[in-house]
Amino acid sequence: MKDLITVGLDGTLQSLSAALWAAREAELRGARLRLLHAWVLLVPEPAGTPAEEAEENVRPHRIMDEAQAAVALSHPDLPVDVSLVRGEPLGALAQAAEQSDLLVLGSRGLGAAARFTLGETGLDLVTCIAVPTVLVRAQQDTPARIGSGNVTVGVSLHADCDGLLSFAFETAARRAVALRAVHGRHLPSYAYHRGGGVDRISAEESAQSGRDELAAALRPWRAKFPDVHVDEQVIMESPAPALLHGTPNAELLVVGRRHGGRLLPPRIGHVVQAAVHHAPCPVAIVPCD
């Protein structure tokens, strides 16, 4: 553990909300918070030189000052590092992520549809860094929401998910909220009648098999975190929509991202894609082996 959370700032309301979310998480973890802004036109400032003397640096300093003030107001005792970096945001954030336990980014809103999209930098980062990334929209996870919902995690059951479950259980324990573990699966082909419709016995057998597998995957984590209440749900539909049911009550949605093969371009996968576009809460993307 590096005991450091880094948040990337770009001057938007989304990144300011990300800074506040990251500050709360750093406080819960007993970690430091690093506020980082990267700007290719940043001008070196000799010691003692006022920022106002370099016109190119005025906006970067304003961004940092605004975020510092907001964090100090809500978390006055939190240790905060400030990092203004000359360079491209992608490279600066990727390097900072290597030194951090968690990277937090703002995500741009899409108006009344209550959806958000990853920017180019965020998308590239999510697919290449090896630490969890949390995406936050504007005004998400305000103090009124904290402690009032649950942490929801999507569980695949088709591959090792220890890192994903560790992150989800630890987050729920820190926030003292319930953990909602969701597994979505398609009905098997034999459950469908030739003329249409579903054989209820076959469908229930498949659902029971899923419940047994989910319970087995969660059993060691329940033992490790006995104070975390766990709600296990197997939903017989595609994993992405199954996962999104009930997320309006979630403080955080946790999803896993598989590493692609060396010959394949990095991807975030359809479940992660659905989560970051449709979930009404912050989304944590956890790299899995």
pLDDT digits over 274-287, tens only? 888 888 899 999 99
Same domain, 35 and 128: yes
Which two three-digit tokens encode residue 202? 């076959």
Same domain for 131 and 268? no
Q: Judge if 81 and 221 occupy the same domain.
A: no
Query: Alpha carbon of 237 to those of 182, 203, 214, 241, 266: distances in Å?
Result: 11, 11, 15, 7, 26
Shared domain check, 87 and 18: yes
Give start and end residues of each alpha helix (H) in 176-251: 200-224, 239-244
CB 121 within 8 A of CB 89: yes
Tens of pLDDT, residue by residue over 168-227, are 999 999 999 999 999 998 777 766 766 667 767 777 888 898 899 999 999 999 999 999
Q: Are residues 105 and 164 in the same domain?
A: no
Q: What is the pLDDT of residue 199?
A: 65
Whether residue 170 is found in the same domain as residue 37: no
Find the CATH number of the domain harbouring 204.
3.40.50.12370
CA distances from 91 to 8, 104, 121, 136, 147 (A): 12, 15, 9, 20, 35
User: CATH number, domain at 31?
Assistant: 3.40.50.620
Concatenating the DSSP letter of every residue in 90-155 gives HHHHHHHHHT-SEEEEE-EE-GGG--EE--HHHHHHHHH-SS-EEEE-TT-S-TTTTTSSEEEEE-
Q: Give the domain range for residue 24.
A: 1-143
Q: Is the pTM of this model over 0.95?
A: no
Tally of structural domains, the chain: 2
Identify whether residues 77 and 164 lie together within a single domain.
no
Name the domain boundary from 143, 165, 184: 143
Q: What is the pLDDT of residue 122?
A: 66
Query: Mind listing the pLDDT tens digit for each residue in 132-172?
Result: 999 998 765 444 455 568 999 999 887 788 999 999 999 99
- Pair (248, 285) in one structural domain: yes
Q: Are residues 121 and 158 located together in one domain of the fold? A: no
- Identify the domain boundary among 92, 111, 143: 143
Residue range 10-34: average pLDDT?
A: 95
Instruction: Return the H-helix or E-strand segment holding 283.
Output: strand 283-288
pLDDT value at residue 44: 72
The answer on 285 and 160 residing in a single domain is yes
Average pLDDT, the chain: 83
Last residue of a domain, one of 122, 143, 164: 143
Whether the CA torsion 9, 15, 17, 23 is positive or negative: it is: negative
Q: Identify the helix (H) or strand (E) that includes residue 251.
A: strand 250-258
Do 109 and 212 fall into the same domain? no
Q: Each residue of 230-269: pLDDT tens digit? A: 999 999 888 899 989 878 789 999 999 876 544 444 567 7
**Stretch (H or E) spanning 68:** helix 55-74
